[in-house]
Amino acid sequence: MNSRKKLLTVLGATGSIGVSTLDVVARHPERYGIFALTAHRQVDKLFEQCRACRPAYAVVDQPADAQRLQALLDGVGCCTEVLAGPEALAAVSAAPEVDMVMAAIVGAAGLVPTLAAARAGKRILLANKEALVMSGALFMQEVAASGAELLPIDSEHNAIFQTLPAGFERGLQGSGVTRILLTASGGPFRSMPLASLSSVTPEMAVAHPNWVMGRKISVDSATMMNKGLEVIEAHWLFGAPAEQIEVVIHPQSVIHSMVAYEDGSVLAQLGNPDMRTPIAHAMAFPERIGAGVRPLDFFELGQLSFERPDLDRFPCLALAYRALKQGGIAPAVLNAANEVAVACFLEGKLRFDRIGTVVEACLNVIPGQTVESLEGVFEADRKARVVAASQVEAFVR
């Protein structure tokens, strides 16, 4: 092992992935240090993290929050410099001192700093699936051009990465792999009567049965849009066509995903549902380090079960497959429309069962076109948000 500490920038440090990352770092102070921590608006939480980790930089969204955080840090003698805005996010992602970037900002806001890390040739610990959903071809081109190392953090994609053949290069052809099997818990409404979905509240939707996650991603799990986005992400990460990516509902969330081979073998990665496992795996790869995760007890577990996803119950999953097959700007439209719809649901402006309706309307209204630049991606994102907002407003009227 290299004796020099590896320095991390953690994008989205106050979220669940960021917190888990800092926990793993704290378990191995001889191996890892923090260069920068970033957050959107949780100034008090970021302050406590900066006191504990002493990063060179902290980044928040708004200048007023930056001034407040800087005053708090100065008051306790912490020498962290506080910056604000998207340019600062990109700067701390691409800084020469940084070895690894944990890309854990939720949604489209994480795309630019993650791209900056890719262009700078960093090891990217990718928890922000939107970077690949919105601009898969462009993002992968930047990774290839710079020699960046892209390691997946989503438990499903990390499991696939661990069970692919040694020396695997993106593209299933010639690898012996026949299918990628993405497991899904099915969320809290897997067995709820369809007629009852219209009465689902935000509090019900964010109560995930197995994982501790943020509000937006918890809603995505409940609609299975999260799994749909993961299908698109798997396409770009592993060079797999949509027809060879299958979603399997596995309520126990113990098998994190599987890879099927031509000889009939199916390899699976198992573990307790704890994001510190894939985080530690990607941070130390190809080595293994302790993550603080409780060992899996098969006798306590008892049994594992599997189901096919019901697309009447989970229309968002079908819409994600549609967007992947359509290609071009469709995945960016899908993602933006879903972000608007989920935000409106969480604010009490949209019924849960209409999230998919809003997304489908945007895919129907916005004409498809190829993606030729990042500006084109952001324009598709902008259009989709306008259309989605108008669709929500039509339901309100």
Give the model confidence (pLDDT) of 164-175 as tens digits: 998 888 788 889
Contact 92, 98 (CB under 8 A): yes
Tell me what pLDDT residue 152 has: 97
- Structural domain includes residue 373: yes
Tell me what pLDDT residue 167 has: 81
**Phi, psi at 304, each rounded to 5°:** -120, 145
Indicate the residue among 112, 129, 152 that finishes a domain: 152
Q: What is the DSSP letter of 353?
A: G
- The predicted model gives 209-220 an average pLDDT of 79
Indicate the residue among 96, 126, 152 that finishes a domain: 152
Q: Which two tokens stand for residue 29?
A: 């102070």
- The predicted model gives 11-15 an average pLDDT of 96
Distance CA 357, CA 197 (A): 13
Distance CA 180, CA 346 (A): 32
Total number of domains in the chain = 2
Residue 89: CB atoms within 10 A of its CB come to 27
| pLDDT over 70 percentage in the chain | 98
Give residue 29's domain range.
6-152
Tell me what pLDDT residue 393 has: 92
Task: Decide if pLDDT at 86 tops 80.
Answer: yes
- The predicted model gives 311-332 an average pLDDT of 96
User: Any idea what the CATH number is for the domain that residue 46 is in?
Assistant: 3.40.50.720
Tell me what pLDDT residue 3 has: 63
Prior bond to 286 cis, omega within 30?
A: yes
**Chain mean pLDDT for the chain:** 94
pTM over 0.85: yes
Task: Decide if pLDDT at 211 tops 80.
Answer: no
Indicate the residue among 120, 152, 184 that finishes a domain: 152
Tell me what pLDDT residue 335 has: 94
- Structural domain includes residue 225: no
Task: Decide if pLDDT at 210 tops 80.
Answer: no
Task: Decide if pLDDT at 110 tops 80.
Answer: yes
- Structural domain includes residue 171: no
pLDDT tens digits, 275-314: 999 999 999 999 999 999 999 999 998 889 999 999 999 9
Tell me what pLDDT residue 130 has: 82
Task: Decide if pLDDT at 1 tops 50.
Answer: no
